[in-house]
Amino acid sequence: MAKSTTTYVCQSCGSASPKWAGRCDNCGSWNSFVEEQAAVPVSGAKGQGLPKGKASRLVGLRGEEAAPPRIMTGIAELDRVAGGGFVPGSGVLIGGDPGIGKSTLLLQALASLARKGNRVVYISGEEAVAQVRLRAQRLGLDDAPVLLACETNASDILATLAEGGPPTIAVIDSIQTLWSPVIESAPGTVSQLKAGSEALIRFAKQKGCCVLLVGHVTKEGQIAGPKVIEHMVDTVLYFEGDRGHQYRILRAVKNRFGPTDEIGVFEMSDGGLREVSNPSRLFMGLEHRPTPGTAIFAGMEGTRPLLIEVQALVSPSPLGTPRRTAVGWDTSRLAMVLAVLEARAGIVIGPNDIYLNVAGGLKVREPAADLAVAAALLSSLTGTVIPHGTAIFGEIALSGNIRPVGQTEARLKEAQKLGLNRAVLAAQAEQMTDYRGLDVKPVETIADLVAWTAAQDRGLRRIV
């Protein structure tokens, strides 16, 4: 027995409230509450609480469990982000902005699996058969034996998947179109999304197939976003990068079967998403000419070292409150670096407009980028060029000290591999590594960095 009650559910974070509100207290979204019917279970008799249960068998920690076999799509970047292939019996969410390439990549992955003899099913709720076929044709994949259906009703999807034996992988594109008649709310609402996804994930666990759920990241609150099902799936992958760039980064943000923060790098082309096997070359800038305001950060993304160009532009501000814009980096971290430069090295950048940009649409999360950001800012402020071939990394403490970061050797090796010949890094990190593939310039404090940058001046001045 279930009694229906009305609740208001925020479509961007899924939090429920008995009353409608203009703004969600939980996530801050405006106009995101939609009325939904929540099914409230009613216990058999009043006051009895939960029904009597059955005891589970308790077992020890040691067992003969084999590592789960993996489904390799053959697209190396995708397989790596998934933690070394997808796991049978798991649910995977692939989120991203509309148009970023989710359907394209998944169709490519399915086609590759189908060609290797796997039974793979693509369920599209957004596009008609003809549209999907056109895409397949455009990508040169129409000969692959991918099984296709256009369906939005969750029960019909489950029936379709069950027929003819469970597939190796099923793609549901997208969860926002899932819909079940037993739920009273409209398609696209949190309850519809949760109920449909839950049924599909249960199917995956029971039948041992892998279900990939596609979710659009939504800007307005009226359609529920992929966040609301993140906790239900085993693996969450998000596409990053804006549509203005042809580069796409797929990042694992949750993975029960592998490391998180692993990234896969793709390039959007006529033939679909192409793997980028040497992403450092990409994010470092293809024709990196030294200009004031650019610095190369030797970063780590998951297990992979990556060289990334950081660009800063410092220019006198006509405004009372100068502009601060950071693309691909945290604005509060930028404020901290500026404050440390001022307090510990007497460098006042504050009254200027400051623009910071990470090349290629990548989002950098590592504090290790502090030193490269500071160098780019100093370089733009003073017009001094940071010499070609210099990799920079290190975390800046509030005291102004430069702290060592993990994976020093991997970062240095990547820099050397890509033809760089110098690295600026924390003095402590330099003492800890024996790696001497390139010149190293140890810096102990932010003042050391300021001094080093000033010493690079070769008379090249910023043209204002």
Q: Which residues bind Zn ion (CB under 5 A)?
A: 10, 12-13, 24, 26-27, 29
CA proximity to 367, closest of 346, 390, 344, 337: 337
User: Does 235 sit near Mg ion (CB under 5 A)?
Assistant: no
Separation CA 424–CA 389 (nearest Å): 11
Q: Count of CB atoms within 10 A of residue 259's CB?
A: 13
Nearer to Mg ion, 129 or 348 (CB): 129
Separation CA 236–CA 255 (nearest Å): 6
CB 151 within 8 A of CB 157: yes
DSSP letter at 328?
S
Separation CA 169–CA 159 (nearest Å): 15
Decide which of Mg ion, ligand ADP, Zn ion, none touches 27; Cβ closer than 5 to 8 Å per partner kind. Zn ion
Q: Which of 14, 83, 91, 101 binds ligand ADP (CB under 6 A)?
A: 101
Nearer to Mg ion, 214 or 372 (CB): 214
Nearer to Mg ion, 103 or 108 (CB): 103
Separation CA 403–CA 372 (nearest Å): 13
Amino acid identity of 170?
A
User: Does 102 sit near ligand ADP (CB under 6 A)?
Assistant: yes
Q: Binding residues for ligand ADP, how many (CB under 6 A)?
A: 9
Nearer to ligand ADP, 175 or 381 (CB): 175
User: Does 103 sit near ligand ADP (CB under 6 A)?
Assistant: yes
Taking the complex as a whole, the smallest distance from the CB of residue 189 to Zn ion amounts, in Å, to 13
Stretch that binds Mg ion, among 95-103, 230-238, 350-358, 379-387 (CB under 5 A): 95-103
SS3 194: helix
CA proximity to 356, closest of 336, 380, 389, 390: 380
Separation CA 375–CA 311 (nearest Å): 10
Q: Which of 68, 98, 383, 400 binds ligand ADP (CB under 6 A)?
A: 98
Decide which of Zn ion, ligand ADP, Mg ion, none touches 124; Cβ closer than 5 to 8 Å per partner kind. none
Decide which of ligand ADP, Mg ion, Zn ion, none touches 101; Cβ closer than 5 to 8 Å per partner kind. ligand ADP
Q: Count of CB atoms within 10 A of residue 34's CB?
A: 21
Stretch that binds ligand ADP, among 32-40, 94-102, 380-388, 431-439 (CB under 6 A): 94-102
Stretch that binds Mg ion, among 23-31, 96-104, 161-169, 316-324 (CB under 5 A): 96-104
Separation CA 173–CA 124 (nearest Å): 5
Separation CA 254–CA 258 (nearest Å): 9
User: Does 185 sit near Mg ion (CB under 5 A)?
Assistant: no
| Tokens linked to 349 | 């950048």
Decide which of Zn ion, Mg ion, ligand ADP, none touches 96; Cβ closer than 5 to 8 Å per partner kind. ligand ADP
Taking the complex as a whole, the smallest distance from the CB of residue 12 to Zn ion amounts, in Å, to 5
Separation CA 390–CA 392 (nearest Å): 7
Taking the complex as a whole, the smallest distance from the CB of residue 104 to Mg ion amounts, in Å, to 8
User: Does 103 sit near Mg ion (CB under 5 A)?
Assistant: yes
Summarize as ranges the residues that interact with ligand ADP (CB under 6 A).
Answer: 96, 98-104, 138
